[in-house]
Structure 1
Amino acid sequence: MELTTAWFIIIAFLWTSYFFLEGFDFGVGMLLPVLGRDDVERRVVINTIGPVWDGNEVWFIVAGAATFAAFPEWYATLFSGFYLPLLAILLALIIRGVAFEYRGKRDDARWRARWDRCIFWGSLVPAFVWGVAFANMVRGVPLDADHEFAGSLGDLLSPYALLGGLTTVTLFLLHGAVFLALKTSGGVRARARRIAGLAAVAAIVAGGGFLLITQLQYGKPVTWLTAAGAAAGLLAAAAANRRGREGWAFVGTGAAIVLAVATLFLSLFPDVLPSTLGTGGLTTANAASSAYTLKIMTWVAAVFTPIVMIYQGWTYWVFRKRIGTSHIPVKKPHVKKPVA
């Protein structure tokens, strides 16, 4: 196997891992104002991802860095042409991270409500824009002969791209609802299961339509299998959720995300960013770094990727138990002592 092909597979793996892990983070954030009826329940919702959300975002950093190092032409064109959407994602992630840290700094309902809104929008915006961005990568964008973006923001907002954004939002909502049902107890768990049932219908309609269009317009024979597997994962997740089998439901949503992303990358290969202007676009061959650079990166990835996976797996094992309102300490009101 050529190193360029190997690194395309590695980058696909990194992005898939990011969407699998950060997907339920986004879903939890979007569901925060819906599932949390009071501050204690909202703290339960946040605490389900509290120990892991920042670790999940590491995969985004690694995926971006690997793209920059292995395919610098792809990275440069992508981040210049998609500048505004990616800036929106970065700002949303920053605001979301700050909200997690600052929400509990003051015992004030309005203070917490403001940060809760930041968590909601900081989760919704990336969930939607990532779908738009990856749909555009598969569809192609206007690239001139120098492989520079020659379009505008409007070129990125085609009906197909917007459907991609709707697909990721509904899929991550389902993923997050199933994760909350798996990680919580009591009223939050029951409501998460009900919302997962509704989200499953939306994800099946939006995701099924998006994958069908992708397959008919850009797909290959092998992607019929991955697209069908993604649809089967959604159906299995919905059925498992109805039976109260949260673990199997989470396996189903996870499989749907993995196979849906695999469908996009397999549809794209050997291109990395097609051109809609007939200029050829970027491929794994003309966008890649030198063979020596790829060889060094392969050794680095072989050493450090398993370490990251083992450490993150250990983190999830440590924080594997369910949590409920009984695990949230009640904040005692501050009473001023009388002056003698």
Structure 2
Amino acid sequence: MRASVLLEAGSVVMRDLDRPVPDRDQVIVQVAAVGVCGSDVHYFHEGRIGDFVVDEPLILGHEAAGIIVDVGEDVPSSRIGERVSIEPQRACRVCSQCKHGRYNLCVNMEFYATPPIDGAFAEFVAIQSDFAFRIPDSMSLEAAALCEPLSVGIWSNQKAGVGPGSRVLIAGAGPIGIVVAQVAAAFGATEIIVSDVVAERREQAERFGATRTIDPRAEDIATLELDVDAFIDASGAAPAVRAGIMAVAPAGRVVLVGMGADEVALPVSRIQGRELVVTGVFRYANTWPLAIKLASTGRVDLDSLVTGRFGLADVEAALDAATAPETLKAIVDPRA
């Protein structure tokens, strides 16, 4: 098969590799759509994210969907031909976190495009059968691929306790911020405030359901007395995190999604005095059925997030395009 391989920071090449062979519990998916994520861009430019370092060739891409073309011995052959969305992780299923249902925190996790596990910028991938979710015929394969960032949005809103009547502040109107806003609306939030320093991003947020947008350079969010029920940071910017915490009502929730500096100064007295719950997000667990339902019923619009399409030989161009302000989601089709 053909695959786009990251050799080192700044260097992506096409290679011919062996097509994967399924384990007993796996399926082989012919990849039809892969979304470009910020983590892919970071690996491409920096060669690492935190403790995860690219020290040998790596296939990027973890937002994936396609068609099952082969199955392992323990998987019914009737699954061949199914259109599926891939949950791109393999948990051990036996550690303490897995046993408690928090398999996203599995200490032995193998996650697509996280060294040393290869991702989906390739013609074929292997995944456990129960992590290949069949999608309805009405749902596009591009939308199926974007169930991965949608799952981040679902997990973030669940962590934030968003429900009918909630008032939510979201920092960052990039792809994740936009998805978080759409999920908040689907969960019943009645006020969805999105902040971003880029005008184009704020305009996009308004198109995707934000009831109000704020330019944090023009207005000091910390002093606006928003008193929202939840603040979800999708920016990773330290000033945005601090301002967002100051905008949360007593007993509210703060959810940190964006990846920024390893250490950030927080207004501890505010957190204590208002008994705020502050938590992080690390991927997701048990979100795919809901993601497919939200997308296939139109409660969340994933197809409109696609702002560019690229072939497998153009992965570097897709990675570059993902950094443009007007880009929401660049999609790679390995069949092209």
Please say which structure displays the higher CA radius of gyration.
Answer: 1
Give me the TM-score of the superposition, normalised by structure 1: 0.26
Q: Which has the higher strand share?
A: 2
The higher-RCO structure (CA 8 Å, 6+ apart) is: 1
